[in-house]
Amino acid sequence: MPLESKDILGLEYMKTGDIATILKTAESFKQILERDIKKVPTLRGKSIVTLFYEPSTRTRNSFELAGKYMSADVINFSKATSSVNKGETLKDTAKTIEMMGVGTVIIRHPVAGAPNMLAKHLDTPVINAGDGAHEHPTQGLLDLFTIKQKKGNIRGLKVAIIGDILHSRVARSNIWGLKKMGAEVVTAGPKTLLPPFLEELGVKVYTRVEDALDNADVVNILRIQLERQKKALFPSLREYAIIFGINSEKLKYAKEDVLILHPGPLNRGIEISSEVADSERSSIKEQVANGVAIRMALLYLLMGGGKTGGQVD
């Protein structure tokens, strides 16, 4: 079934039916990724470009691998060696690349709304790979997929999102996606890192981590984003780790079989202890693997596979 939208800009704008279609399609791609030979001809003759204006390890490489596993040609645009350094605007850069015939533009940008602006000007599908503190929809989708794979469903689960919500595009995409799929979402963190709009989104807000963790099915632990903090928002990292860092002791408040998620990269010993990150309850490594399956599903659905009802492989 094709998606309703030409672009993937955020889970706020995404229809619940589209989320369900993407999660279902990713199941087929996950099976392909479990094979020895992962290459399929699905996107042969098509191309994608990754246009990253901010650093990335997981998102960029998993989009590149997703494209390559599906036989697409992949261009990785490098801001440092491009004509952006001669003053070319984002819109002109993207239009120039579109004229070369690319099938999908994947963009990460520090400015919230940059992918939305591009989507208005391009006929080519645009995927938001993270825009400022706004949204990171492919991370939100891979988190939903991981929860569904591990717990069997999403509806009715209690999901606690802990940490730096203020600067987190992952938190926003998770909240929109989880609420649409029927989960209960609670948050906790220092008051200075909890934006005022959370309650308007139907999210319960706590300042004591133990209250948010109480009986939780899933805990999504966020990275402290020091690079986005313009002034000190808590006394020290040591104090943050003691009060808000998730360790085995604090996890006693959650359900016995609680699922631990973290979008990465990890600040070990600050927002998460190594003991928790590497425990059997942690699916952090699986999130990374599921990110490839989700991104394969998105490229397939946006680049014709979903519209023609074509075979995944």
For binding to ligand CP (CB under 6 A), which residues are involved? 56-59, 130, 136, 139, 263-265
Give ∠ CA 56-60-65 in degrees, rounded to 5: 145
Whose Cβ is closer to ligand CP: residue 75's or residue 288's?
288
246: left (phi over 0), alpha (psi -120 to 50) or beta: beta
SS3 per-residue string spanning the chain: CCCCCCCECCCCCCCHHHHHHHHHHHHHHHHHHCCCCCCCCCCCCCEEEEEECCCCCHHHHHHHHHHHHCCCEEEEEEHHHCHHHHCCCHHHHHHHHHHCCCCEEEEEECCCCHHHHHHHHCCCCEEEEEECCCECHHHHHHHHHHHHHHHCCCCCCEEEEECCCCCCHHHHHHHHHHHHCCCEEEEECCHHHCCHHHHHHCCEEECCHHHHHCCCCEEEECCCCHHHCCCCCCCCHHHHHHHHCECHHHHCCCCCCCEEECCCCCCECCCECHHHHCCCCECHHHHHHHHHHHHHHHHHHHCCHHHHCCCCC
Residue 115 burial by Cβ neighbours in a 10 Å radius (0-12, 13-18, 19+): buried
